[in-house]
Amino acid sequence: MPQPTAGVARRPTLAQVYRRFAEVEAAGTSPLYGRVAIALSESGKALRAIETAPARKRHPSLILAALHDLALAGRAPALAAAYAAGDGEAAADAAIATLLGMTEAVVATAVRRPVRAGETGRCAVLYPVIAEAARRLGADAVGLIDVGCGAAFNLSVDRVGITYSDGSSLGDPSSPVRIPASIVGGRAVPARAMPEVVARIGVDVDPADVTDPDEARWLRACLPPDQPERIATLDAEIALASSAPPALLRGAAVEVLPDAFARVPADALPVVTTTWALSRLSLENRLRFLHRLDQAAAGRPVAWVSAEGVGVAPAIPTLGDRRASGHSILGLAVFDGPALRAEAVGRCWSQGRVLAWLAGSRLP
């Protein structure tokens, strides 16, 4: 009988994946999902149902979202009632019953949709860098192009209210979407307002249109039902984005960026934003992305604002940081004719919830 190769770790079983999700990922954030994931890990029938999905579509976060979607759509009333009551045992039983009774529907949803997460928290790092880009280029209006936009919440950056831990604030103080962020490192974020936003364009291979009820429901389904504060924030994000829906362009960034630039009025500064989007691209396509920005700048200045892992964004300095440092670099690249000026203006952690502003500092 063949023996396992020495030194090669065995891949965890599906049951182990679900148990680990319960004990690590759901621990402390969603007791309800923790209990459901444990129940799924202990049910042979449930695991066999999950295994009818492609391997890359069996992750607990996706299967649980697909079950939650059925509950929100009114197709799994027992599961919806258990979630509403916060009853872990009833939710575990109802989740297994729903999965076994509606396996095809669960798998079809998991195959068709990606897990989506709320993104508006990223505005706390985007806002001051966009404002800085406009200042440097003397722009009175900007057109925002968000690459890898997902639900396009980044495109509401000027319409949210941001409060920093040092007491400063940016954005719209009357906005229904409030974003807190912590400042570290001793340098304040510039209190400079963004100019008028005259175009909002989202670019993604699979953008989410929040004005579509099914898409909006799926966004809610991707949150655990026992996180009422996150659900309330998401509802406010959806309402805000729906009130001024952006233009959504479907396709690879390097293919559709020319169309996106063409939609920005001639008298506005195109500002391209990427937040943890470029890591999904190969190095070759990241360089092609940079070339697209350079091409667009042949006719007018272009700015690129990025929040990416260390070393991910081409041309943005790494400040000597290690790739596995646990933080990301905030980059600002200005394309003005043949000139490219790229700078690291900050560091951030926790998807933008913690920010160290560096622009204008002599210290890295």
d(CA 252, CA 286): 11
pLDDT, position 273: 98
Q: Do residues 121 and 179 lie in contact, with contact meaning Cβ atoms separated by under 8 Å?
A: yes
According to DSSP, the residues that pair with 183 across neighbouring strands are: 355
Local confidence band at 274 (pLDDT 50, 70, 90 cut-offs): very high
pTM of structure? 0.91
Tell me which residue of 305, 353, 320, 8 sits closest to 132, measured CA to CA.
305
Local confidence band at 9 (pLDDT 50, 70, 90 cut-offs): low
pLDDT, position 364: 37
CA 146 to chain centre: 11
Tokens of 255: 């293919």
User: How many beta carbons lie within 10 A of that of residue 17, not counting itself?
Assistant: 19
Q: Would the pLDDT of 1 be above 50?
A: no
Identify the DSSP state of 25: I
pLDDT (tens digit, 9 = 90+) per residue, 91-106? 999 999 999 999 999 9
Pairing of strands 328-336, 339-349: antiparallel
d(CA 307, CA 356): 12
d(CA 118, CA 222): 9
pLDDT, position 362: 40
pLDDT, position 152: 93
Local confidence band at 168 (pLDDT 50, 70, 90 cut-offs): very high
Interval 208-237 mean pLDDT: 95
Query: DSSP letters of 301-360?
Result: -EEEEEEEETTTSTTS--TT--TTSS-EEEEEEEEETTEEEEEEEEEEEGGGTEEEE-TT
Interval 338-350 mean pLDDT: 93
Tell me which residue of 227, 214, 124 sits closest to 166, measured CA to CA.
124
How many residues would you count in the chain?
A: 364
According to DSSP, the residues that pair with 271 across neighbouring strands are: 144, 303
Identify the DSSP state of 291: H
